[in-house]
């Protein structure tokens, strides 16, 4: 294994999209930012220098940070932000990790533009478990607003209402020709007829899940969240913010130009939605430059059945070591709620539904971001920043099927759930909510988890069918609207680990919590010490 060094300069970049010029925050003058390339078991060292006036951090999404919790990156969870003009060096090892992952800012809503792909190749001499592709390409999906995203966040949070849709969706920084004023801002892959391509799909979107499809071509999923899957061929797939999916595409159609397109999937939505897809081109060599490209077709924007197909049928390639016995059995409700607007409520204007304000909670607790890093407070043993009473089961009754779930008026708090070192955890995520329901992509830091089951309605322990043989091994799971997902993982990585909805606006509303994984006292696996340059609050 070798060591890969990178220097990330977080900078402001002036870009023109859709005929408007704006300043966005990004890394090394590129948008999307640079790709990190490494091999399994490599050491990665990234010095991040903040050349902007805003606080920043970088999170290595899907990197399990084995015994390196201080390098994880979420602001106020494992570190304080890197302030203007300061640097912090992230160091971690990609222990038994390969595949496509992503990095992104993990403070405020900066992730909208501060993001990029991580590509981890197998060890030298180890082939892919599928025919070697002729070429590989990463496609990074994002949402773009003309408004400064920090202003956008402030406006949404102070209004109490929902987040406005993006002005455009982007594939590798380009919206494509379907938007006004972007006829030539199109990302293109040049294709040799007869060859097979590996596309590494990365969703850095902020608040929206997306369908992805290529006109007249099928997609064979071979990897999800950096872990191989049994090949699964689909016409289209849904990718949630934080997810990465590798697909093989055969260039076996007539010579022409085909759209590779992404369009929003809005599970809860029953009113029509602006749906201009972002389009990139899959252009066969020999295709005339003038001919119009062939358009991709999508399911309806709220077609949950099609959207859920891949998840329901995804299987890990190998036996992944699912814990068959569990030591901790947890049930968390996750959902949106409306709080009454009362004084002195922090949100003054109450422009949410019915004059209330949106809130979101896990087990009826809306997460409140602390003012120091939880990991630091835990390591230093300082009291007063969090409590250890995050409940293992919902505080209030819920019954999604039988009536309105009792998700309203969540309690605000910074609570953690403590897990014994090495404990085998089953966690059922039950999607509830009184304000329409939505698929919530829940992401766990510091661990991957086996998705052993999912279904609609209430989770029922006696009838739920669990797959303990070959479930997919993931880090972000779309918990279906009005349904549940069950995950299992071994809590063997000491530290403080954030778990949250990867729709950024939901996390801001409180759809988040943190686990403390205790250390294996007296073993090698104890809590690491903080690096000397760790940013302080």
Q: Which is nearer to ligand C2O, 106 or 488 (CB)?
A: 106
Query: Is 115 a residue that touches ligand C2O (CB under 6 A)?
Result: no
In the complex, least distance from residue 104 CB atom to ligand C2O, rounded to whole angstroms: 6
**441 and 61 Cβ atoms separated by less than 8 Å:** no
Helix (H) or strand (E) holding 158: helix 149-159
Q: Which is nearer to ligand C2O, 64 or 502 (CB)?
A: 502
Q: Around Cβ 194, how many Cβ atoms within 10 Å?
A: 10
Q: Report the half-sphere exposure of 528 (CA within 13 A, side-chain side).
A: 17
CB of 376 to ligand C2O, least distance (A): 17
What Å distances lie between residue 168 and 22, 32, 212, 383, 536, CA to CA? 14, 15, 15, 45, 36
Cα distance between residue 412 and residue 359, in whole Å? 10
Give the distance, in angstroms, between the CA of residue 533 and the centroid of all CA atoms in the same chain.
27
Length of the chain: 537
DSSP at 493: S
Of 70-89, binders to ligand C2O (CB under 6 A) are 74
Q: Which is nearer to ligand C2O, 186 or 485 (CB)?
A: 485
* Radius of gyration of the chain measured on its C-alpha atoms: 22
Q: Is the dihedral of CA 179, 184, 190, 193 positive or negative?
A: positive
Question: Minimal distance in Å, beta carbon 418 to ligand C2O?
Answer: 20
Enter the tokens of residue 36: 């990190």
237: Cβ–Cβ under 8 A, 6 or more apart, which residues?
211, 212, 213, 219, 221, 245, 247, 310
Closer residue to ligand C2O (CB): 25 or 287: 25
Residue 57 CB, shortest distance to ligand C2O, in Å, is 10
User: Minimum CB separation from ligand C2O for residue 447, in Å?
Assistant: 12
Q: How many CB atoms lie within 10 A of CB 321?
A: 9
Q: Which residue is nearest to ligand C2O (CB)?
A: 61
Select the span of 32-40, 222-230, 372-380, 498-506 touching ligand C2O (CB under 6 A): 498-506
Restricting to residues 198-257, name those near ligand C2O by CB under 6 A: 242
- Least Å distance, CB 186 to ligand C2O, is 27
Q: Which of residues 502-521 bind ligand C2O (CB under 6 A)?
A: 502
Report yes or no: 362 and 332 within 8 Å, Cβ to Cβ.
yes
CB of 226 to ligand C2O, least distance (A): 13
The residue range among 85-93, 158-166, 356-364, 495-503 that interacts with ligand C2O, by the rule CB under 6 A, is: 495-503
Question: Nearest-CA neighbor of 58 among 535, 442, 494, 448?
Answer: 535
User: For ligand C2O, how many residues bind (rule: CB under 6 A)?
Assistant: 11
Report d(CA 305, CA 298) in Å as an integer: 13
500 part of the interface to ligand C2O, by CB under 6 A: yes
Nearest approach, Cβ of residue 61 and ligand C2O (Å): 4
Binding mask 415-454 for ligand C2O (x = CB under 6 A): ----------------------------x-x---------
CB of 386 to ligand C2O, least distance (A): 17
Residue 61 makes contact with ligand C2O by CB under 6 A? yes
Per CB under 6 A, which of residues 7..46 are in contact with ligand C2O? none
Cβ proximity to ligand C2O, 153 vs 259, nearer residue: 153
Site residues (vs ligand C2O, CB under 6 A): 59, 61, 74, 104, 106, 242, 443, 445, 498, 500, 502
């Amino acid at each position: 294994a070798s060591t890969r060094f990178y220097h990330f300069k977080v900078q402001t970049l002036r870009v023109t999209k859709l005929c408007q010029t704006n300043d966005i925050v990004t890394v090394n003058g590129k948008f999307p930012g640079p790709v990190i390339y490494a091999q399994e078991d490599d050491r990665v060292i990234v010095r991040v220098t903040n050349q902007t006036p805003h606080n920043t951090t970088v999170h290595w999404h899907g990197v399990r940070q084995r015994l390196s919790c201080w390098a994880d990156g979420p602001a106020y969870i494992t570190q304080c932000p890197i302030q203007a003009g300061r640097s912090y060096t992230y160091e971690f090892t990609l222990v038994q990790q390969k595949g496509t992952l992503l990095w992104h800012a993990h403070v405020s809503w900066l992730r909208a533009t501060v993001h990029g792909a991580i590509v981890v190749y197998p060890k030298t001499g180890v082939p892919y478990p599928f025919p070697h592709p002729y070429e590989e390409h990463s496609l990074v999906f994002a949402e773009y607003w003309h408004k400064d995203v920090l202003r956008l966040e402030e406006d949404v949070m102070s209004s109490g209402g929902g987040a406005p849709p993006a002005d455009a969706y982007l594939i590798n920084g380009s919206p494509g020709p379907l938007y006004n004023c972007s006829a030539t801002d199109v990302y293109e892959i040049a294709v040799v007829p007869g060859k097979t391509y590996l596309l590494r799909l990365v969703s850095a979107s902020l608040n929206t899940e997306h369908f992805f499809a290529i006109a007249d071509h099928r997609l064979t999923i071979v990897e999800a969240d950096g872990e191989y899957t049994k090949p699964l061929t689909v016409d289209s797939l849904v990718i949630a913010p934080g997810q990465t999916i590798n697909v093989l595409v055969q260039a076996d159609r007539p010579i022409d130009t085909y759209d590779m397109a992404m369009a929003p999937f809005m599970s809860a939505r029953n009113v029509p939605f602006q749906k201009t897809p972002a389009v990139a081109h899959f252009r066969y060599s020999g295709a005339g430059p003038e001919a119009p490209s062939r358009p991709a077709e999508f399911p309806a924007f709220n077609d949950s059945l099609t959207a859920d197909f891949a998840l329901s049928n995804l299987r890990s390639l190998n036996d992944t070591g699912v814990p068959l016995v569990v030591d901790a059995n947890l049930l968390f409700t996750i959902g949106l709620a409306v709080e009454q607007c009362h004084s002195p409520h922090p949100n003054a204007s109450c422009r949410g539904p019915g004059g209330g304000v949106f809130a979101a909670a896990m087990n009826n607790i809306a997460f409140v971001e602390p003012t120091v890093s939880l990991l630091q407070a835990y390591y230093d043993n300082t009291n007063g920043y969090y409590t250890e009473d995050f409940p293992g089961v919902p505080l209030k009754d819920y019954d999604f099927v039988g009536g309105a779930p009792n998700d309203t008026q969540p309690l605000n708090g910074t609570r953690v759930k403590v897990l014994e070192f090495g404990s085998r955890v089953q966690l059922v995520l039950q999607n509830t909510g009184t304000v329409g329901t939505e698929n919530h992509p829940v992401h766990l830091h510091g661990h991957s988890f086996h998705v052993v089951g999912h279904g609609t309605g209430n989770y029922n322990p006696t009838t739920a069918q669990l797959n303990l043989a070959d479930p997919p091994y993931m880090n972000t799971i779309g918990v279906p609207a009005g349904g549940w997902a069950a995950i299992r993982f071994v809590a063997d990585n000491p530290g403080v680990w954030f778990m949250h909805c990867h729709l950024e606006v939901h996390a801001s509303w409180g759809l988040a919590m943190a686990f403390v994984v205790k250390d294996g006292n007296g073993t090698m696996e104890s809590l690491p010490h903080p690096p000397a340059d760790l940013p302080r609050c």
